[in-house]
Structure 1
Amino acid sequence: MSNYRIVLERRSTGYSAYSPDLPGCASTGATREKAEANMRDASEFHIDGLREEGFPVPEPRAR
């Protein structure tokens, strides 16, 4: 799988995460590490879903 940039934001209840290159794909976690791991899983699931439905998979662009 390609490397997609993950943006983490601290929240009062933990962390949220999203990727600018994968619209609609986001995750959360109680810790930074958990949010990162959850986002990796969410990204893989999101990309698999795009492929199954015949949609194009965005190339990583964020630096």
Structure 2
Amino acid sequence: MRNKLYATLDELEKTYLKELDKIRVTLQTSLTKDVNNCSRLEDELQQLHEAVKSLSENSKTEM
């Protein structure tokens, strides 16, 4: 009876660890995508900032 219980617990543990690994991979993939999007958006915002700054300086010069 004890061996059967241990075998069942081992199977549950394996199943649990597989599910946890799937969740970890999913979250890691999502996090990687989010970090890449943030980096891209940061670059785009920096370019926009520089363009607005340049337009502002040109407007002041023309006045």
Larger radius of gyration: 2
Same fold by TM-score greater than 0.5: no
Larger strand share, 1 or 2: 1
Query: TM-score scaled to structure 1, two decimals?
Result: 0.38
Q: Using structure 2 for the length normalisation, give the TM-score.
A: 0.38
Higher relative contact order (CA 8 A, sep 6+): 1
Q: Which has the higher helix share?
A: 2
